[in-house]
Chains A and B, each alone.
Chain A
Amino acid sequence: MHFAIRYVTRYRYDGDVVDNINALRIRPATSGRQQVDHFTVRLSPEVRQHRHEDYFGTDVIEFEVTRSHRELIIDASAHVRTEPQPDPPSGTWEGLAVPGYREAGGEYLMQTDTAAGHPLLAELEAELADARTPLEAVLRTSEVIPDRLEYRKGATYVDSTLGDVLDVRAGVCQDFVHLGLNLLRSRGIAARYVSGYLYTRAEPLGEAGDRAASVEVDTHAWIEALLPNAGGEPRWVSIDPTNRGLVGECHVKIGHGRHYADVPPIKGVYRGSAESALEASVTMTRIEPVG
């Protein structure tokens, strides 16, 4: 599928601020099944952009607004083509123990947050206990989380812990992913946090053209789990615990990490005593393939 993505973030400050320094991880990744045809970021106030690729392979843009200002606008546009993911491999539990798998899984096998002994966590673990293959455990993970937890904005914060999420039995996609990562890693399945965009309208391109195909979304998060592959290399398979099941062509990946803190879309600091108000919008538009 082809998408045009527009991601606009506007910070308004109730006083003058200076030295506003930010790191953006918003550029769609280039991979075997995702191609970026176009990507630009416009900043207001206009300042120089510094790009680099971080440890996890995510494209990072950093900038600083040194002079005094009361508003900051980050306006990003991208054109991306995606393809569906191939059928997931269905290796056995034994496949998790081989050195090649442990090596490929690396740090994604290690927990970043724990809530040992939490009754809800124990319940969820019990639901996965009799999965016959790692693939079944992965797919069930994407089901049990939305079954047992309520999707509710405002129930959690950007830095809520796993314990917080389990206590309120609710959260947003970021929290669902953190919970899923914990469940999978505790079964020895390597799993990583994926940040990206999700196109949420399933119907085909309408008669009215581009406008009808535009949707307002937010940045999204899902999971990549490393599945053993009988007779082959283990492969990363994407699931979405907010929307159940395997990820399809509507998911546009930005990057991955061990947890949210490795791939935050926007992270920044500024100097000044002013408070800020944030408005952010992500618009995704399906566009006709050209040629």
Chain B
Amino acid sequence: MTSDPLLDGYRIPDGSCDELLETDGRPREHVRALLAALRRLGPEALTDAGRRRDVIFMQQGITFEVSGAGGERRDRPFPLDLVPRVLTAGEWTVIKRGLAQRIRALNAFVDDVYHGREIVRAGIVPWSLIVSRPSFARPVHGIRAPGGVYTHVSGCDLVRAGDGSWRVLEDNVRTPSGISYVLENRLAMTRLMPELFAGQRVRPVENYPSLLLEALQAVAPSPDSDPTVVLWTPGPLNGAYFEHAFLARAMGIELVEASDLVVRDSVCYMRTTGGLRRVHTIYRRLDDDFIDPLEFRPDSVLGVPGLVRAYRAGTVAIANAIGTGVADDKAIYHYVPEMVRFYLSEEPILENVPTYLLSDETVRRWILGRLHEVVVKPTSESGGKGVFIGPQASAEERADEARLIEAHPELYIAQELVHLSTAPTETGDGRLAPRHVDLRPFAVFGEQIRIVPGGLTRVALREGSMIVNSSQGGGSKDTWVLADGDLLEGLPPGLAAREPPRLPDVRYGGWHGQAQQQQQQAAI
């Protein structure tokens, strides 16, 4: 391959499965057409498209905030790599079935945790572990979500291990973000590199907003055929505000903030210029803590007081349901394959990465002796924060990590290091190099579970790095699922991309809290 300017110096890291080349160096069958198209274009076309991409993304505001070395915040374009990642129809079928199975089990777990606790009584998941999760939401104990659906939107992170098998690295059933990049990336790629799509049958992704809207309408507790669905954003200061606005516009629904919502007599309404309007489903993009100051953080000014009561009365669906965080906790993750067996009586299609809970002393000793080999994660962080990668850590860093674990073993899990697969990635000079990738497919659960083909492929742009988070030097790729004739789904129904009407700025004074201190003088 050395004669090929595109692949000059393409060296696959030890232990990783490369998605472009077989072990013998020949291109894999399903990417040959793509590789041929890239060769026809040549390196100059790639660098040129890269420049156009940066200009367009900056203009459209598809940027994210990064901290500079001096701590200053600045926007930079979300780095879209110009080489799509390609999955075969057969591969996708396995992923899709595996995810649907897993999401059904996670949904059943959420329902169980807040009701009968069957899985605890069966001795599979310890109750003490559940109640010690910060995301265990006592206020929704005994509340059954409309339609029995809790995990309306999920974005589980998948990785491909050295042997080519797909594994679940992390579940995400709170408010996963990233779908807007999937849609934007596809749109950008069809404009920047239309030549790549020629002769390929790539399954479309643009029907996501309609799938989501259908799911949100399907769970609406309403006899009406036209329920009102809103998207609740914490506001423009939120890092994912772009996505909130994007999705609301694509679905043609109102983008609201807490001050636009009010609960009257156990029913949720939205303030409009024409008065109050009943809301049936709230797609909320903020944490449980900020939902209702009466039930969660009393200092929350973002919340809607009384919303949990309306939810308890069954008059409003909240997506995702309150309290789903207990299911995607990193310590609970360990038990998900058991959940699949327990709730569904099925064998898991997608396996976990081997994971160890460090509260057990024997396990902890064993892991502390292997810190140079394993990955350690805090159980209640996300976005790659606090992740310790043993093989890349210095002796000093390992000693620091060991001290952290010893101090609070229950706050950490250890995982075997997965050598993430690599995919060909443009390196800035028009040539390709293997870079580590993961995959976050997005599933929506209304009447049934629907998964958009592909998902967000995140790529660690730094050579050798396995941290794919955008906050830590990661980029993304357009993800293609190739269509087999018989798997091709119908084209999505067109969605009017109308601007939602602006809400009047109806704001009263702030909320005030009232609480009495318990104080009683000594008796007698």
Decide yes or no whether A264 CB sits under 8 A from chain B: yes
Contacts of A186 in B (CB 8 A): none
Find out whether the CB atom of A269 lies under 8 angstroms from the CB atom of B520. Answer: no
- Chain A 48-69 interface residues, beta-carbon cutoff 8 Å to B: 48, 50, 52-56, 62, 64, 66
Residues on B with C-beta less than 8 A from A103 are 127-128
Instruction: Quote the shortest CB–CB distance from B513 to chain A (angstroms).
Output: 6
Contact between A219 and B516, CB atoms less than 8 A apart: yes
Quick one: which of B141, B517, B522 has the most chain A CB within 10 A?
Answer: B517
Residue B364 is within 8 A (CB to CB) of chain A in the complex:
no
Provide the bound-state CA to CA distance between A220 and B520, in Å: 6
- 9 A-B contact pairs sorted by A residue (CB < 8 Å): A11-B514, A19-B508, A109-B128, A146-B522, A158-B515, A218-B521, A269-B513, A271-B509, A278-B514
Kindly list 16 other residue pairs between chains A and B, CB separation below 8 angstroms, not including A21-B263, A202-B524. Answer: A19-B508, A21-B306, A53-B142, A62-B309, A66-B265, A106-B131, A107-B128, A156-B517, A195-B518, A200-B524, A217-B520, A243-B524, A266-B515, A268-B515, A271-B510, A278-B514
User: Is A120 part of the contact surface with B, judged by Cβ < 8 Å?
Assistant: no
Q: What 3 A-B pairs are tightest by C-beta distance, nearest first?
A: A172-B519, A273-B509, A55-B141
Closest to A15 in B: B509
B522 touches A18 (CB 8 A): no
With both chains docked as a complex, state the minimum distance between the C-beta of A154 and any C-beta of chain B, in angstroms.
9
Residue picked from B127, B139, B514, B522, most chain A C-beta under 10 Å: B514
Interface-central residue, A21, A54, A156, A218, by most chain B CB under 10 Å? A21
Check A242 against B520 for contact (C-beta < 8 Å): yes
Q: Given A200-B524, A269-B293, answer yes or no on A54-B519 (Cβ-Cβ < 8 Å).
A: no
- CB atoms of B127 and A106 under 8 A apart: yes
> Which residue of the partner chain B has the closest CB to A151?
B522
B14 to chain A, nearest CB (A): 44
Q: How far is the CA of A146 from the CA of B313 in the complex (A)?
A: 44
In the complex, what residue of chain A is closest to B300 when comparing beta carbons?
Answer: A269
CB distance B514 to A66 under 8 Å?
no
Closest B residue to A198 using CB positions: B520
Expressed in whole angstroms, the Cα–Cα distance for A230 and B67 within the complex equals: 59
**Do A243 and B523 touch (CB < 8 A)?**
yes
Interface centre among B262, B266, B508, B518 (most CB of A within 10 A): B518
**What is the distance, in angstroms, from A214's C-beta to the closest C-beta of chain B?**
15
Question: Is B294 on the interface with A (CB-CB < 8 A)?
Answer: yes
Contact A269 B514 (CB under 8 A): yes
A109–B264 Cα distance when bound, in Å, is 39
Q: How far is the CA of A5 from the CA of B508 in the complex (A)?
A: 37
| Min CB gap B121→A, angstroms | 11
Q: For chain B, residues 493 to 524, give those with C-beta under 8 angstroms from any C-beta of chain A.
A: 508-524
A208 to B75 Cα, complex, angstroms: 79
Taking the closest CB of chain A, its distance from the CB of B141, in whole angstroms, is: 4
* Measured CA separation A200–B521 after assembly (Å): 9
B509 to chain A, nearest CB (A): 4
In the complex, what residues of B have CB within 8 A of residue A156's CB?
517
Contacts of B365 in A (CB 8 A): none
Which chain B residues border A200 with CB–CB below 8 Å? 520-521, 523-524
A174–B298 CA distance with the chains assembled, in angstroms: 18
A269 touches B294 (CB 8 A): yes
A151 contacts B521, CB within 8 Å? yes
Is B312 an interface position by the 8 A CB rule?
yes
Tell me which residues across on chain A come within 8 A of B295, comparing CB atoms.
23
Q: Which residues of A contact B309 (CB under 8 A)?
A: 50, 62
User: B513 and A268: CB pair below 8 A?
Assistant: yes
Alpha-carbon distance between A11 and B514 when the two chains are bound, in angstroms: 9
Interface pair A276/B515, CB less than 8 Å apart: no
Beta-carbon contact of B127 and A218 below 8 Å: no
Question: Interface residue tally of chain B, by bracket?
Answer: 35 or more
A198 and B517 within 8 A (CB): no
The reply to whether A219 and B514 contact each other, CB–CB distance below 8 Å, is no
Please tell me if the beta carbons of A173 and B519 are within 8 angstroms of each other in the complex: yes
Assess A107 versus B132: contact at CB under 8 Å? Given A50-B266, A54-B138, A270-B512: yes
Contact between B516 and A278, CB atoms less than 8 A apart: yes
Q: A64-B265, A107-B131 are in contact. Are A220 and B518 (CB under 8 A)?
A: yes
Known: A55-B141, A102-B128. A264 touches B264 (CB 8 A): no
For A269, list chain B residues within 8 Å (CB): 293-294, 305, 511-514
Residue of A nearest to B120 (CB): A103
Which of chain B's residues have a CB closer than 8 A to the CB of A146? 522
Question: Do A271 and B517 touch across chains, with their CB atoms under 8 A apart?
Answer: no
CB distance from B97 to the nearest CB of A (A): 36
Nearest-CB residue, chain A, relative to B132: A110
Residue ID in chain A nearest B508 by CB atoms: A271
Question: B515 contacts which chain A residues (CB < 8 A)?
Answer: 158, 264, 266-268
CA distance A146 to B524 in the complex (A): 15
A269-B293, A270-B512 known; A221-B127 Cβ under 8 A: no
Q: Which residues of A contact B264 (CB under 8 A)?
A: 64, 66
Q: How far is the CB of A112 from chain B (nearest CB, A)?
A: 11
Per-residue A-contact encoding for B288-324, CB less than 8 Å = 1, 0 else: 0000011100100000011001001100000000000
**Alpha-carbon distance A17/B508, docked complex (angstroms):** 10
B264 nearest CB neighbor, chain A only? A66
Given contacts A64-B265, A220-B520, contact A18 B514 (CB under 8 A): no
Please give, as numbers and ranges, the residues of chain B lying within 8 Å of A227 by CB-CB distance. none
Residue of B nearest to A197 (CB): B520
How far, in whole Å, are A49 and B226 apart by their CA atoms in the complex?
30
Among residues of B, the one whose C-beta sits closest to the C-beta of A20 is B514
A103 and B346 alpha carbons, distance in the complex (Å): 29
Query: Which A residue's beta carbon lies closest to that of B114?
Result: A55
Contact, CB under 8 Å: B514 / A174? no
Name B141's closest neighbour in chain A (CB-CB).
A55
Measured between alpha carbons, how far is A64 from B263 in the docked complex, in Å? 9
List, in ascending order, chain B residues with CB within 8 A of A17's CB: 512
- Interface 0/1 of A252-291, CB less than 8 Å to B: 0000000011101111111111011010100000000000
CB closest residue in chain A, given B513: A269
Name the CB-closest residue of A to B301: A269
**Nearest opposing residue in chain A for B262, CB measure:** A19
Q: Contacts A55-B139, A107-B131 given: A276-B512 contact, CB under 8 Å?
A: yes
The 8 A CB mask of A159-195 against B (1 = contact, 0 = none) is: 0000000000000111000000000000000000001
Residue of B nearest to A219 (CB): B518
Q: How far is the CA of A259 from the CA of B212 in the complex (A)?
A: 40
Residue of B nearest to A60 (CB): B309
Q: In the complex, which residues of chain B have a beta carbon less than 8 angstroms from the beta carbon of A107?
A: 128, 131-132
A213 at the interface (CB under 8 A from B): no
A251 to B517 CA separation, bound complex (whole angstroms): 18
Interface centre among B265, B309, B520 (most CB of A within 10 A): B520
Give bound CA distance, A75 to B236, whole Å: 43
Q: Is there contact, CB below 8 Å, between B519 and A21?
A: no
CB distance from A72 to the nearest CB of B (A): 9
A23: B residues at CB distance < 8 A: 294-295
Q: A19-B305, A268-B514, A273-B509 are in contact. Are A174 and B131 (CB under 8 A)?
A: no
Interfacial chain A residues near B313, Cβ < 8 Å: 50
- B90 → chain A closest CB, angstroms: 46
**A9: interface (CB < 8 Å):** yes
